[in-house]
Amino acid sequence: MRHLATLALLFGGYVVAAKIGLSFATVHPSATAIWPPTGIALAAFLLLGRDVWPAIFVGAFLANATTDGSFFTSVGIAIGNTLEGALGAYLVELCARGRHAFDRPRDIFRFVALGGLLSPMVSATIGVTTLALAGYAPWHEFGSIWVTWWLGDVAGALIVAPLFIVWASASPFQFEWGAGQWLEAALLLMALVVTAGFVFGGFYGPTRNYPLAFFCIPILVWTAFRFGQRETATAVVIVSAVATWGTLRGVGASGANEQLLLLQGFLGTVAVMALSITALATEHRRLLAVEQRARADAEAANVAKDAFLAMLGHELRNPLAAITTGMHVLERAARLDDKAERVRNVIARQVDQLSRLVDDLLDVARVTTGKIVLHRSRLELGELVKRSLETIAATGKSERHQISYQGEPAWVDVDDGRLEQVVTNLVTNALKYTPPGGTIAVTVEAERGSALLSVADTGMGIPQEMLPRIFDLFTQGDGGSLRSQGGLGVGLTLVKRLVELHGGSVEARSAGPGRGSRFSVRLPIAAPRRVTDEPARKAAPSRPRRVLVIEDQPDAREVLRLALEMAGHHVFEAADGPHGIEAASRHQPDVALVDIGLPGCDGYEVARQVRQMAEGRSIFLVAMTGYGQPEDRRRSEAAGFDVHLVKPIDPERLNALLAGQRADARLSAEPA
């Protein structure tokens, strides 16, 4: 029943549009320059399918049978009109995405070529041939009648069909407009009607015979850019209606067929232009929305990644803190025999390795997102390098290699902690890939306005094909021998990013596998700093402290308590936030060591509530956490902590804090 109602409505609309079009026929009663039924038929076939052909055929037959000609000519014309719509829809479906032809400019032009220009030739050819064969049209006028017929159908396809297709392809009465856009739409409609009436209505005599039709184009372009395909197709139909009415009122050569044909050609061209501009603008808005969504997703993913890495660092550092403190307790509790001492040293080295892996992973994530801030100072590069080499030697990593240093004075403005990280990573990398007994040569020199640091080794070397990507994230040498050296492949990436943050550059060279490698770092050179003698700061005398440990991890809390008690301090414990606040009020400690990730309430809330107590204002609050990013330190400072320590905590540093040596323990000086 619904299908029959649709066919009946289509039949009625087709007949009415056909009778209106035929009322403008001049060269022949059956040929007119205004033929909306072509657009109706093409849209119907595209939107409703091929089953609508009976409504199109009967409508075309009835319209022509009641106008002029015979039964034979009416049947022939109806066949041509039906085939025109069916063929146009088939070609548009095949080559221009069917009802979605107006979404993309290239599909619009395919629609124009196939549904707007090619398929009307079928109707014009069959119709005029039928009239000529039946004697209702002279053969010598075949060409002029055919052109009129074809152009009328072309205009119907290009002006009327888009209106039905784009309105049917969207929710017809759903407008996601604000008040401003409704006002803009009303102003646009008013401007469109007034301009079209002025241009085509002939109300102003002096301009009546001037070609002013192009005045409508800016308003259609405005519609195309500011609104969608529905509004643009509607605006084109409004301009066409006003223009046709004005032309028939007698503008120019009044009522002449040539004027209508020129008008239809102009309106068809304008329709294609406006719809193409709308498609371009819509596609641009869609791509912009996709880009914005992608950017938002990337930012959200980046935030999630940072949160995950921070949580990962926290979770990995918690057990490391317990192991580090436990080794310190073992070292001070009893003298170990040789085997136990070797095992303790192995544990210490592996903990140090794991700590460095965690630090490198978190650091490279922060460097790549620009979240590391450098605290520069002027220093002599050679002294920093020698200090780094001494630290490496103290760990025992270089005991099976020969490390040499040769340097000349070279001053630089750098973050000493970050540059020491660069030196340590380069030398450690050389030690990893140089067999025992090999040589690592470290040099510092001033060269052409730059401070040049070089680390050369006699190790495994680097394949030539790998050199261009040696500083890429997670890049390591291939093969089991290189893989056995461990690591995540982030150390050299971190070196490159940190050096570039300092305004320098780094390069790698190697003659190939088995022929060693050389890494060279260039930094901007600076003028030497004037050295002044400063009196040595005396350490405060050590004395026992009342220390409150608020830590939810039992193992970490236990070994920290043992280490503090062995240092002579009086220790209190709490396993969560609320009990920690209660213990601070009851015991009034000198120092509170507070883990941030506590159950009940976190360490920040503990610090805030302790600071609100009268007796809590003098407590030295130390944040202990695996979170070490700048925003974490700012939160600690805002909550009331005096110091922010990142796990695992060096027991000697903790002892220095408790002894009163706080000069290097300020929040701003803690390395990220």
Q: What integer pLDDT is reported at residue 481 of this predicted model?
A: 43
Q: Are residues 292 and 192 in the same domain?
A: yes
Two tokens, residue 378: 């002027």
- Beta strand 643-646 with 591-595 is unpaired
Residue 403, pLDDT > 90, answer yes
For residues 335 and 547, give the distance between their C-alpha atoms in angstroms, rounded to a whole number.
Answer: 27
The DSSP H or E segment spanning 420 is helix 416-432
Is residue 666 predicted with pLDDT exceeding 50?
A: no
Query: Which sign does the torsion angle of CA 242, 248, 250, 254 carry?
Result: positive
The residue-averaged pLDDT of 170-179 equals: 70
Residue burial 66-99, b: 16+ Cβ < 10 Å; e: rest:
ebebeeebbbbbbbbbbbbbbbbbbbbbeebbbb
Whether residue 531 is contained in a domain is answered as no
Do both 154 and 183 map to the same domain?
no
Identify the residue with better confidence: 577 or 346: 577
Q: Residue 523 phi/psi, 5° resolution?
A: -125, 150
Task: Establish if 340 belongs to a structural domain.
Answer: no
| pLDDT category of residue 391 using cuts at 50, 70 and 90 | confident
Q: Would you state the structure tokens that stand for residue 55, as one six-digit string?
A: 């409504």
What are the pLDDT digits (tens) for 431-473?
A: 989 999 999 999 999 988 899 999 999 999 999 888 888 888 6
Q: Would 538 be classed as within a structural domain?
A: no
Report residue 313's pLDDT band, with 50, 70 and 90 as the boundaries.
Answer: low
Whether residue 195 is found in the same domain as residue 238: yes
Residues 570, 515 share a domain: no
pLDDT digits 0-9 by tens, 42-52: 999 999 999 99
Q: How far apart are the first and last CA of the chain?
A: 75
pTM of the model: 0.54
Q: How many other CB atoms are there within 10 angstroms of residue 105's CB atom?
A: 17
CA distance 256 to 250: 9
Residue 77 lies in a domain: yes
Residue 364 domain-assigned (yes or no): no
Helices (H), 334-380: 338-368
Instruction: Name the band, by pLDDT with cuts 50, 70 and 90, for residue 530.
Output: low
What's the whole-number mean pLDDT along residues 149-159? 93
User: Is 345 contained in some domain?
Assistant: no
The band of 479, judged by pLDDT with boundaries at 50, 70 and 90, is: very low
User: Which residues, in sequence order, are CB contacts of 76 under 8 Å at separation 6+?
Assistant: 126, 127, 129, 130, 134
Domain closes at, from 320, 353, 382: 320
Q: Does 394 fall in a domain?
A: yes
551, 583: one domain: yes
Tokens standing for residue 50? 């091929």
Say if CB 632 and CB 647 are below 8 A apart. no
Q: Based on the fold, state whether residues 117 and 179 are members of the same structural domain.
A: no
Q: Cα Rg for the chain, rounded, in angstroms?
A: 42
- Please give the pLDDT value at position 582: 93
The total of other beta-carbon atoms located within 10 Å of residue 516's CB is: 23
pLDDT above 60 (res 86): yes
- Judged against a pLDDT cut of 70, whether residue 299 lies above it is answered with yes
Q: Report H helices in 173-256.
A: 179-201, 216-226, 229-248
The predicted structure's pLDDT at residue 301:
80
- Shared domain for 164 and 185, answered yes or no, is no
Same domain, 609 and 477: no
Residues 4 and 137 in one domain: yes
The confidence score (pLDDT) of residue 447 equals 86
Domain with 654 in it: what CATH number? 3.40.50.2300
205 and 254 assigned to the same domain: yes
Asked if residue 329 is part of any domain, the answer here is no
Average pLDDT of the residues in 105-112 = 92
CA angle (493 as vertex; 492, 499 as ends), nearest 5: 85
User: If you average pLDDT over residues 208-220, what whole number do you get?
Assistant: 73
Label residue 227 by pLDDT band (50, 70, 90): confident
Task: Extract the tokens encoding 434.
Answer: 């140089």
Of the CA atoms within 13 Å of residue 137, those in its CB half-sphere come to 27
pLDDT surpassing 80 at residue 308: no
Cα→Cα distances 431→268, 393, 426, 458, 486, Å = 77, 11, 9, 10, 12
Q: How many domains, the chain? A: 4
d(C-alpha 394, C-alpha 416), whole Å: 19
Backbone angles phi, psi at 359, to 5 degrees: -65, -45
Q: What are phi and psi of 43, to 5 degrees?
A: -65, -40
Average pLDDT, the chain: 83
Which has more confidence, 303 or 280?
280
Question: Buried b / exposed e across 262-279, counting CB within 10 Å, b at 16+?
Answer: bbbebbbebbbbbbbbbb
DSSP symbols for 436-486: TT-EEEEEEEEETTEEEEEEEE-SS---GGGGGGTTSTT---SSHHHHTT-
Least confident residue range of 134-138, 204-208, 250-254: 250-254
Q: What is the CATH number of the domain that holds 81?
A: 1.10.1760
pLDDT level of residue 351 (50, 70, 90 thresholds) = confident
CA 267 to CA 270: how far, in whole Å? 5
Helix axes 416-432, 491-501, angle to 10 degrees: 150
Angle at the Cα of 398 from the Cα atoms of 396 and 404, rounded to 5 degrees: 135
pLDDT value of position 522: 94
Please say which residue of 135, 169, 203 terminates a domain. Answer: 169
**Among 180-189, 370-379, 468-477, 588-597, which range has the highest average pLDDT?**
588-597
Domain extent at residue 105: 1-169
Mean pLDDT throughout 353-378?
69
Separation between Cα atoms, residue 581 and residue 558, nearest integer Å: 19
Asked if 443 and 588 sit in the same domain, the reply is no
Written as one letter, the residue type at 403 is I
Calculate the CA 538 to chain-centre distance.
54
- pLDDT tens by residue, 248-270: 765 444 445 677 788 888 888 88
**Alpha-carbon torsion 311, 314, 315, 316, what sign?**
positive
Which residue matches tokens 């004395």? 543
CATH number at residue 518: 3.30.565.10
Closest C-alpha among 179, 285, 160 to residue 234: 160
Q: In the chain, pLDDT over 70 holds for what percent of residues? A: 83
Alpha-carbon distance 216 to 191, whole Å?
9
* From 90-99, 357-366, 540-549, 653-662, the region with the lowest mean pLDDT: 357-366
Can you read off the two tokens belonging to residue 393?
């030697």
Domain boundary among 461, 489, 524: 524
Give the residue from 272, 292, 332 showing the smallest Cα distance to 115: 272
Q: Name the pLDDT band for 212 (thresholds 50, 70, 90).
A: low
What is the three-class DSSP state of 298?
helix
The single-letter DSSP state of residue 28 is B
> Which of 158-172, 390-404, 594-608, 654-668 is the least confident region?
654-668
Q: How far apart are CA 465 and CA 86, in angstroms?
A: 61
15-24, 90-99, 307-316: the lowest-pLDDT one = 307-316
Interval 617-626: pLDDT, tens: 889 999 988 7
Residue 567: its pLDDT value, please?
84
Residues 249 and 315 in one domain: yes
Residue, of 313 and 109, whose pLDDT is higher: 109
Confirm if 594 and 603 have CB atoms less than 8 A apart: yes
